[in-house]
């Protein structure tokens, strides 16, 4: 038996599964008509010179909201570091001129499906919640669980609680409280 046959078979299986996975990602989603129209378009912004900064990148990524991305996704994938990582993966198999929004969308969906992304999103959203929420002793039991989920030390939690006890009419957000405790 030819020793290359198992390798070739393995290579073909991986290529087939990779392509099948890409088709499954888009097939399993109920895509809206505007999304279907968008994902068929080429990624011209990467070639025509309109991709100049993160603001222009976020604008292009935001177009994928039609396909189910949310504001966090747009901010996360609209960073140069994220796009660079995605493009490195995408350009291994295709030339930039051949890529469509579907290729980009599939890569974003793959990254969103990882536990790392899910954890980063959870922590970021919890942090943003605390940053904007006014510290309130009456709602402390709810808020302390967020501090705990974020991995705050017992010392920090105790300091925040003591601050709220000594300032019952507090008007500061938790971010402002933590900043004042650092001083």
User: What percent of the chain lies above the pLDDT cut of 70?
Assistant: 84
Question: pTM for the whole thing?
Answer: 0.71
Domain ranges of the chain: 12-113, 117-182
Q: What is the pLDDT of residue 8?
A: 37
121 three-class SS: helix
Taking CA atoms, 136 is separated from 47, 145, 158, 178, 180, in Å, by 51, 14, 14, 14, 16
* Token digits of residue 33: 């008509």
Q: What is the pLDDT of residue 96?
A: 84
Q: What is the CA radius of gyration of the chain?
A: 23
Lowest mean pLDDT among 3-17, 61-75, 81-95, 167-181: 3-17
């Amino acid at each position: 038996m030819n020793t290359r046959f198992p390798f070739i078979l393995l290579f073909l299986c991986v290529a087939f599964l990779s392509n099948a996975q890409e088709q499954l990602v888009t097939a399993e989603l109920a895509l809206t008509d505007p999304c279907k129209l968008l994902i068929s378009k080429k990624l011209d912004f990467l070639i025509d010179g309109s991709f100049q900064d993160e603001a222009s990148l976020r604008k292009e990524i935001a177009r994928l909201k039609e396909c189910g991305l949310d504001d966090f996704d747009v901010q996360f994938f609209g960073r140069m570091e994220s796009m660079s990582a995605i493009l490195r993966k995408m350009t291994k198999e295709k030339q930039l001129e051949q890529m469509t929004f579907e290729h980009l969308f599939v890569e974003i969906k793959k990254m969103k499906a990882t536990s790392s992304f899910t954890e980063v999103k959870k922590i970021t959203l919890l942090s943003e919640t605390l940053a904007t929420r006014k510290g309130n002793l009456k709602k402390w039991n709810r808020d302390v669980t967020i501090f705990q989920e974020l991995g705050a030390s017992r010392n920090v939690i105790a300091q925040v609680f003591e601050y709220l006890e000594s300032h019952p009419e507090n008007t500061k957000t938790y971010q402002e409280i933590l900043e004042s405790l650092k001083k």
